[in-house]
Amino acid sequence: MASNDPDTFRYYDNLEYNYDTIHDLLITGNSALSISILAAPDYNTFVVDTGKSDIKQLEQVLSYGDKKDIPIWGKNKDGSDSRCTKLAGTDATQYSPGLNGDETLWAFETLLCFSLYAKHGILPDHDVKDIPTYRYTIQKENFLETLENSCLCLEDNEQKCTSGMVNLKKCGTAAGFEFIASPAFFYDAPEHLLWTGLDKVISLNEVTDENCGTFFDIEPLTGIVLNAEKKLMLSIKVRANAIPYN
């Protein structure tokens, strides 16, 4: 079937993430000093499934930009195929109708260049304007050091990759920068609070699913996301030869 068939595919053009510009940014050797991952627009095109052939595939991402996979990531460290390269899930605004709460839902996050999975039952369900919803929470295991996540390590020596942190140096507008992505306040690996000094900002008992987890509230009959909170943290890896941005 032709890729421009409106019955099968839907296009989203000129998507743009609007973030506050961060000034006095320290970067590590990238020549494009004026570019920030937090301010750069994303003009890639989403192609998603309309669900005509299979309603369970409604809004599933089929391609992003001109890619049907995510080539920046490699295989798992044991040589097996990785989940990192797969365009899995939707953009987290719509899922297939008729959810029962037992599903594992996937969302492709363009800021991170990989898909994350979420489950129901981690946090209590929450009504949105008196409409009952299921609350799905992004699993902390998405970032932890496991075999299925080993594909997220871009270093030659995997011991240089820290559990709970993902280097985005090959991802989109972050390419060449040393941005390190993690859940808010290392929610998946709170032991990092101590050596980073963030324990002075937030106490360990405040690092909870509700305070630091990413979740979305879905009306189960329609699959429409009525409310969502995305909580990600970006840190900057500073090396000895870091170049200050004036």
Of residues 69, 84, 91, 56, the one with CA closest to residue 225: 91
Of residues 171, 139, 138, 165, the one with CA closest to residue 153: 165
* Token reading at 181: 């992505």
Q: Which residues lie across from 119 on neighbouring strands?
A: 104, 137
Residue 2: what pLDDT? 40
Query: What is the maximum span of the chain, computed from C-alpha positions, in angstroms?
Result: 57
Residue 179: what pLDDT? 84
Residues 219-244: tens digit of each pLDDT: 999 999 999 999 988 887 776 665 55
For residue 225, CA distances in Å to 1, 45, 85, 219, 221 come to 29, 21, 25, 6, 11
Q: Which residues lie across from 11 on neighbouring strands?
A: 47
> Distance (Å, rounded) from C-alpha 147 to C-alpha 172?
24
Which pairing describes strands 114-120 and 134-138: parallel, antiparallel, or unpaired?
antiparallel
Residue ranges covered by each domain of the chain: 9-16+23-244
pLDDT of 47 above 50: yes
Residues 156-209: tens digit of each pLDDT: 777 778 888 888 888 876 676 778 888 888 888 888 888 888 888 888 889 888
Residue 173: what pLDDT? 65
Structure-derived torsion over alpha carbons of residues 139, 145, 150, 155, reported in degrees to the nearest 10 = 130
The residue ranking higher by pLDDT, 96 or 157, is 96
Hey, is 83 helix, strand or coil? coil
pLDDT band at 19, cuts 50/70/90?
Answer: very low
Residue 246: what pLDDT? 43
Hey, is 158 helix, strand or coil? helix
The residue ranking higher by pLDDT, 26 or 41, is 41
pLDDT of 12 above 70: no
Which amino acid would we find at residue 226? Answer: L
> Distance (Å, rounded) from C-alpha 170 to C-alpha 11?
25
Average pLDDT over residues 105-112: 91
* 47-56, 70-79, 171-180: least confidently modelled range: 171-180
User: Which ranges of the chain does DSSP label H, i.e. alpha helix?
Assistant: 192-196, 209-212
